[in-house]
Amino acid sequence: MTVAPHFQFRNGVLHAEDVPLADLARQFGTPLYVYSRQALHDAWDAYRVASQGRNVLVCFGMKANSNLAVLNEFKKLGAGFDIVSGGELARVLAVGGDASRVVFSGVGKQVWEMRAALEAGVKCFNVESEPELLRLAEVAEQLGMVAPVSLRVNPDVDAQTHPYISTGLKENKFGIAIDSAVAVYQRAAALPSLEIVGVDCHIGSQITEVSPYLDALEKLIVLVKALARLGIDLKHLDLGGGIGIRYTDETLLAPSVLLDKVFQALDAHGLAHLQLVLEPGRSLVGNSGVLLTTVEYLKHGDAKNFAIVDAAMNDLIRPTLYDAWHSVETVAPRHNGDTALVYDIVGPICESGDWLARDRKLDIRQGDLLAIMSAGAYAYTMASQYNTRPRAAEIMVDGSQAYVVRPRETVESLFATEKILD
């Protein structure tokens, strides 16, 4: 049974902290995202403890979960933020986040986004191509400002993860080939509207071993030393994020293990003066949330049994997009198990790809409540309104209290701004 620490069974009912999930479903309906506030704090604490006595800036990779309540928790805990759009910057500023602790990543930054980030005063732009570098220099010059930059280099390191979330191979769209990085840094150094402040690397997501990070770091150290010989001295080294979480039985990589190994390498090469920037997303929020869904129908067939639920791929696209595994728990399970069958958990969307889990042995009935676990990351942020389905509400649980941190959309709101021609 795969249940996150802050989602446990009590008296035969699955709880979020001290709140029965069945109560939340009755009060707020389903589908429903439920987050544990304490889970966010505990996940952050692992990075805080690992960073003690070291010059480390942990920037939450907010593409994983950008709800303002979540961002506000991390702001209060001392996090910076890793953003990939002007919209995400606006969210950080909306919760009073410090722009000087924001790194701006992403391969397709637009002029308006660059302007907004420069005017806000972000820590740096993680530049991913030479054309982007030149555009940023031009925008900064027009504003009479100097843009702080680091180059995101692609080290051609295999993170041993799903191809769609692997970002450090030379065939991926991300970053500048590490063999070309010195020349691009030299070009950046010649542009007066740019200030070189660091180097950035992000090799992928859901990584459970330290070796890919160390392989990438080894190449970054060679680059940093080559730049120093040319008189280009950096202030920080950004290793990105990507530490995995437990979806089933994964052996996890602790932040302390990663940081111990990284600082050993930096010390050995005389680079301990560099600030280390990390950009964790999934590992800070993934196990903090569940997606509650109600069984609408049970459909039994010769080849498959289907549990048709009210959540769908528009609520959680990871299974159909990545073939991702999410544990499924019955919120109030029956304990005899005599009538358990193997089901595919599917939604009502008109696509064969609309599934949340496959081949799960469950003892369920129509009307039962299921919890799709580990849905705190890349669930709501990737949600859509496909089939004109309103996006679900988000709830934050704090001890015995539950708070609506985003209400459920209404059907009417989905087309309220649309216009009909006469």
Residue 96 in marked binding region? no
Residue 240 in marked binding region? no
Kindly list the distances between the CA atom of residue 418 and the CA atoms of 167, 373, 384, 412, 414, in Å, as whole numbers in the listed order: 37, 36, 17, 11, 9
Residue 351 in marked binding region? yes
Residue 91 in marked binding region? no
Q: Rounded to whole angstroms, how far apart are CA atoms 406 and 57?
A: 29
Give counts: helices (H), strands (E), the chain.
Answer: 12, 21
59, 124, 201, 350: the catalytic one is 350
Residue 54 in marked binding region? no
Q: Rounded to whole angstroms, how far apart are CA atoms 100 and 57?
A: 11
Catalytic residue flag (residue 350) = yes
Question: How crowded is the C-beta side of 263, counted as CA atoms within 13 Å?
Answer: 19
Residue 255 in marked binding region? no
User: Where does 11-71 show beta strands of DSSP type E?
Assistant: 13-16, 19-20, 32-36, 56-61
Residue 389 in marked binding region? no
Residue 322 in marked binding region? yes
Sign, CA dihedral 244-250-256-257, equals negative
DSSP H helices in 29-64: 37-51
Residue 130 tokens, joined: 């030479």
Q: Rounded to whole angstroms, how far apart are CA atoms 293 and 331?
A: 10
Residue 10 in marked binding region? no
User: Where does 68-193 show beta strands of DSSP type E?
Assistant: 80-83, 102-104, 124-127, 147-154, 176-177
Binding-site residues for substrate sit at: 282, 318, 322, 351, 378
Binding-site residues for pyridoxal 5'-phosphate sit at: 242, 279-282, 378
Binding-site residues sit at: 242, 279-282, 318, 322, 351, 378
Active site positions, annotated: 350
